[in-house]
Each structure stands twice: as C-alpha cells, then as structure tokens.
Amino acid sequence: MSQQPTSSSKPTPLARALDQNETAKDTVEQSAAELVVINAVLKQEIPGHVQVGEVAQALQKTDALENKIQDTAQDLADVNEVLAQEIDERADLERELAATKAALARAKG
C-alpha cells in the first residue's frame, strides 16, 4: 500500500509515516494471530475444572488482549488508508503545481 513519490527518489514524510504504520500494523496483526494460537492452546490444554481463579482470569485477560490487539490493527489499517489518500492528493497537487509552473514559464518565455 505504500506509495513512492514521483518527483524524486526520496520518500516524503507522509510516505515514510505510511511505511512505518504498515510495518506496525503487520507486527500487531502477527502478534494478534500468535495470541489467538496461544490462547486456543491454553484453553485446550487446561481442563475446564482447572480454569478457575487466577487461571480463569488470565484466560479472560488474554481474550481481552486479543480483541484489543485486533482492534488496534484495524485502527492502524484505517490510519494507513487515510495516509495513502493524503499521499495521492499531495501527488496530484504536486503534478498540478508542476504543470502550472511549466505553463507560466512558457507564457513568460
């Protein structure tokens, strides 16, 4: 999803932010997937009659954490979409500005 600027080889600050957000989103998604597996194994390996007290609380907290991580991954995906749109808009504006400058230079010259 990351966009590279067209006018130069150096990424813009927004493009760098998008790349960093994409990396963070991927890490969060991977962490959520790992937590799902860990939680499933714990629930399967720990008999129901043992899932009381602190063990039950720990399992509930991992469920809550799993949901929080998944929500955070979605939030990052939403931010990435906004950043990508902003990058596209800025690229369009830069092209318009370049065309306007070229037209002005032709009109002067």
For residue range 19-71, list pLDDT tens digits in order.
999 999 999 999 999 999 998 898 888 888 888 898 889 889 999 999 999 99
| pTM flag (> 0.75) | no
pLDDT attached to residue 2: 47
pLDDT attached to residue 99: 97
Query: C-alpha dihedral over 31, 13, 82, 74, to 10 degrees?
Result: 10
**Minimum mean pLDDT among 48-52, 79-83, 97-101: which range?**
48-52
pLDDT > 70: what percent of the chain?
A: 92
Total residues belonging to the chain: 109
Report CA-CA distances (Å) from 20 to 13, 37, 62, 68.
10, 26, 26, 20
CA 109 to chain centre: 47
Question: Predicted confidence band at 4 (pLDDT cuts at 50, 70, 90)?
Answer: very low
pLDDT > 90: what percent of the chain?
A: 62
The type of residue at 24 is A
Residue 87: CB atoms within 10 A of its CB come to 21
Query: What is the torsional sign of CA 80, 82, 88, 93?
Result: negative
Nearest-angstrom CA–CA distance, 103 and 97? 10
Averaged pLDDT score across all residues of the chain: 88
